[in-house]
Structure 1
Amino acid sequence: MSQARLMDGTALARRIVERTARRAAELTGRTGTAPCLATVLVGADPASVTYVRMKQNRCRTAGIVSRHVELPAETSTGELVAALRSLSQDPAVHGILLQHPVGEHVDERAAFEAIAPEKDVDGVTFASFATMSFGGPGFVSCTPGGILRLLDAYDVDLAGKRAVVVGRSAILGKPVGMLLLARDATVTYCHSRTRDLASVVREADVVVAAVGRPRLIKGEDVKPGAVVIDAGYNPGNVGDVDFDSAALRASLITPVPGGVGPMTIATLLEQTVDAAARQLGG
């Protein structure tokens, strides 16, 4: 049985960031203003701190100014909303990223909705989801957007294919399903209440695992020749797919790490420069 071909998100993301850096430099030279991404972190969750630091480093690589707003863990919904509205009104800030999670005591949806749609470069607001779903101009959710770019880079024709999305989160599962539907795939959403998950996954030409449960999808659940996108990330650099067994049946598969993750950040940076260009008239 042949081994699946790896979908190298690291290499593709590098090319996107290089192109984004050229666009940022051109925009800065023409307008005198560099694109600026504000990251907002509530508390000091170790994984979140690491993710934010990584995004700040990538911003520097791409010629994007990074402004970091760090709020204490006990920050209330009202205080977080006020901070996000302030950034939304600041003309020097072109994109805003609220790092997830924000704490169970905070109304995360209210916080997301405090971000101005034109600065929602992470694609988390109702406005962005609606615009994306109807194919309008706007910002896609970064991980789903990165997944579609990866599928395109490997010439995966989605038209008429059956796509199964395992997970229904507002910033990953639901939006990636809408993007796949827009490419004429037939989309099935699976979740914690799906009966006989394995039998549904076995019918998929394209599987997107985005549920946050390590090695949930086994090799025997994968249809021979399917494309497997593992958008999960669990402790120990483990995805939602049992990579070794799934790679024996899939035609294409993303590694963890090095698959979807780099594409998420590349999409974020690209959309930040897009936002800056629109706001600066470029």
Structure 2
Amino acid sequence: MSESVSESMQLESFQLSAIDIADADLAMLHALSISVTWPHRAEDWQFMLDSGRGIAAVDEIGRVVGSAMWFPEEDNFATIGMVITSPRLQMHGAAHWLMDHALRDLQGYRLGLNATRPAERLYRSLGFRDEGLVYQHQGEVQTAPPAPALEAGEVLRPVTPEDHKALIALDKQAFRAGRRVLMNRLFPLSTGMVLERNGKIVAFSLCRPFGRGHVVGPLIAANDRDAVMVLRPHVVALQGRFLRLDTRQKNAPFSDYLLSCGIPLFDTVTTMALGCSWTTNQQAGAPLTYGLVAQTLG
């Protein structure tokens, strides 16, 4: 982190200082996200801290009152997330100050993020442009409707360590940047399913504990049918339990399947990009990200 991390900011009666987020108290970071009703557990925060870098804003007595993280991936691409300011500091410029640190550290990167409604104006003022919506489905799984039947040459099975290389490559096609390190962090935390067609993996899903229950993501497939195929085993396993999936699919067989499982639409966020076209203009038939790892990570 550059020396600029030690910069301070006078915000009305508050004197804020920026520290490396790796040095921030985990319990205080967790309390910060709780203050804005985000569902992250302390374990989810630790996963983010292990996967990226960032800053925390602290006040005069050392309380964490803001955060911003960024996650550089391969191919000169990074996502930005966990941009939080405590309720008492919102609307006073603290989030802009936090983003200034992130953008300074990420010069030369192509950037993507998923913006909550209150943050959209800030990101647009920094040059980010809208690319679409993410639909946050969540709730207690009520039922597991059948998926399409397997066809000749198809196999649906659990992920094995021997699959990891192929899954990383398929995720790169969908995400449009490599994220090998992140994927290798996810594998030991997740249960997974793959769909093979004539011996080739064409779709997969990972499911791990997160927030109030579990989240499915990434879920990578080239079409709704294949996406439902690799989703259903997780739905079966988690009936009666809380499940979340963030998707860019709307009014499609995949989103209809989520609704039929009793996983309603809860909220939306806006995907934005700077210096690239992150999620638009993808080739027809190419694999898509049907389920995000997290809104912060894409």
Asked if Structure 1 and Structure 2 have the same fold, meaning a TM-score greater than 0.5 normalized by the shorter chain, the answer is: no
Q: State the TM-score, normalizing by the size of structure 1.
A: 0.30
Q: As a proportion of its length, which structure holds more strand?
A: 2
Which has more helix, going by share of residues? 1
What is the TM-score when the length of structure 2 is the normalising length?
0.29
